[in-house]
Amino acid sequence: MRTRHHGATDVGRRRSQNEDAFFATDELGLFVVCDGVGGRACGEVASQVTVDLIRDWVDREAALIQAAADEARMARRMVVHGHAHDGPQIRLGADTVARLGALVRGGLQNACYMVHSMAEVDARYSGMSTTASVVLVAGELAIVGQVGDSRVYLGRGEDVRQLTEDHTLLNMQVKQGLVEADKVRGRKSSITRAIGLRDHVEVDIMAFPLQPGDRLLLCSDGLHEYLDQAADTLIDLFRLDPRVAAPAAIRYANLCGGKDNITALFVEIVESSRGR
C-alpha cells in the first residue's frame, strides 16, 4: 500500500494565534496532528515541538517500517499465489505489530517527557501541553496513537467511523453513565490526558488492516466539534479528493463559527504493486 494526503490548518475566526500543528509524509507513512491546549502557556510551542519530536523518533526507525511493509507485501503475494485471496489481508507477525505499536507509543511518550522537561528548565514554558493524534502506515497495517481529544476517523466505502477516544472529562462521564452521549455531542470539555502536563502519559494504541480506497482524517477539535452534529457533512468530506477535502473542511468549520483553530489532514490509501 501507499498513501497520498493533503492537510490544511487555519487560525479560525475567534483566535489570534494558531496553536495547531501537523506533519505528513507519504515516504515514511507518518501522519500527525497536534492541538496546543487552550488556556495553557505556549500551546503553539508544545504542538510544534511534539510534531517535530515524533517525526524524528519515527524517522530513526525507518528501516523497521520498511521491513514491516515488505513483510506484509510478501505475505500478501503468497496468499494471492495460493488462490486464497478474497480481499486485502494482513499477515504481519505479532512481533512486528507489537514493535510498530511500541514505536508509536515511544514517540508520544518521549515527546511528553521532552515537552515537560522544557517547562521544568524554562519558566516561560510552564504548564504548556498539547494533544496528539498519530497514524503510522506500514504496508497494509495502520498503527494509531492517541493522547487528548484530537481525532482520527476512518472512511471505508460509505461508512465513516471515529477510531480514537476523546480523553476528556465529558467523555469520562459518558463512559461512567453519568451523562448521555447525545447531550454532550459537540460540546467542549477539559482534557484528561495531554503531552507535557507531566513527564509521562498513558497512550492509546490500536492497529488495524487497511484496504485500497480507505480514507483517514486526522483533525483537531476545532473541526470535529462541528462534525459531531453533522454526520452527512462528514461523509460528504470523505467522498472528496484529499486535496479538496482538507480546505473544504476548514471552510465548513469557519462557516459554523470557527471558534477554535482548525486542522484537517486527509490520507488516502492507494494500492501499489511495487515499493511503498
What the chain holds in terms of domains, given with CATH numbers, is 2-165+195-270 (3.60.40.10)
Q: Look at residues 165, 136, 144 and name the one whose alpha carbon lies nearest to residue 31.
A: 136
What is the structure's pLDDT at 94?
A: 87
Pick from 36-45, 116-125, 244-253 the range whose average pLDDT is largest: 244-253
User: By the 8 A CB rule, do 230 and 253 touch?
Assistant: no
Q: Look at residues 111, 189, 122 and name the one whose alpha carbon lies nearest to residue 149.
A: 189
% the chain with pLDDT above 70: 86
* Confidence band of 88 (pLDDT split at 50, 70, 90): very low
Report residue 255 as a C-alpha cell.
462557516
Is residue 208 scored above 50 in pLDDT? Answer: yes
Is residue 13 scored above 50 in pLDDT? Answer: yes
Q: Poorest-confidence range of 11-15, 29-33, 35-39, 177-181? A: 177-181
What is the structure's pLDDT at 170?
A: 80
Is residue 98 scored above 90 in pLDDT? Answer: yes
* Confidence band of 182 (pLDDT split at 50, 70, 90): low
Report residue 148 as a C-alpha cell.
487528548
pTM for this prediction: 0.90
How many Å apart are CA 253 and CA 255, to the nearest integer?
Answer: 5
User: By the 8 A CB rule, do 139 and 96 touch?
Assistant: no
* Confidence band of 89 (pLDDT split at 50, 70, 90): low
What is the structure's pLDDT at 83?
A: 44
For the chain, the average pLDDT equals 89
What is the structure's pLDDT at 14?
A: 93
Is residue 109 scored above 90 in pLDDT? Answer: yes
- Amino acid 200 reads H
* Confidence band of 81 (pLDDT split at 50, 70, 90): very low
* Confidence band of 70 (pLDDT split at 50, 70, 90): confident
- Where does residue 14 rank: exposed (0-12), middle (13-18), buried (19+ CB within 10 A)? exposed
* Confidence band of 73 (pLDDT split at 50, 70, 90): confident
Sheet holding 204-209, edge to edge: 20-25, 30-35, 132-138, 141-147, 204-209
Q: What is the mean pLDDT of residues 44-49?
A: 96
Is residue 90 scored above 70 in pLDDT? Answer: no
* DSSP annotation of 130: B
Q: How far is CA 267 from the centre of its chain?
A: 10
Is residue 185 scored above 70 in pLDDT? Answer: no
User: By the 8 A CB rule, do 42 and 34 touch?
Assistant: no
